[in-house]
Amino acid sequence: MIYTEKTKKAMKLCFEAHKDQKDKSGLPYVFHPFHLAEQMETEETTIVALLHDVAEDTDITLEDLAKEGFGDGVMQALKLLTHDKKVDYMDYVRAIQENPIAKAVKLADLRHNSDLSRLDVVDEKALARREAYLQAMAFLENV
């Protein structure tokens, strides 16, 4: 993990935003963004990894995050990573590929979300989700 004033702020925001959420196996959800952040190599990618699901999965908006002063690069990546369900999944992935920060975080996110050992039950829905993630990874790795 990269520890700077901004990454520490992002860690606290991430924890507060996700502290009461559980993942599909009942584990604290916050472990997921922290796992991604551990893999990042820059301050910006670390912040984005920590905050990548905040606007999508909590009551905190992108506008709220922008007020925290993380900078335009972070905010552009967070906007790209916040999937509007009205947008086709692969169109969403295609938009991410143009932004190196968003792309680095999304690839780590896809790898982690594709790990079926994280799940207590692997059903058809989990297998279908993994297949979509593998297709997205292949696209992002080959562009």
Report phi then psi at 28, rounded to 5.
Answer: -55, 125
Look at residue 50 and give its three-state secondary structure.
helix
Is 44 labeled as catalytic in the residue annotation? Answer: no
DSSP 68-131: TT--HHHHHHHHHHS--TTS-HHHHHHHHTT-HHHHHHHHHHHHHHT-GGG-S---HHHHHHHH
Distance CA 9, CA 96 (A): 24
Say if CB 40 and CB 51 are below 8 A apart. no
Write the burial class of residue 95 (CB in 10 Å: 0-12 exposed, 13-18 middle, 19+ buried): middle
Write down the catalytic residue from 16, 38, 57, 141: 57
Write down the catalytic residue from 23, 56, 64, 68: 56
Is 84 labeled as catalytic in the residue annotation? Answer: no
Catalytic positions: 56-57
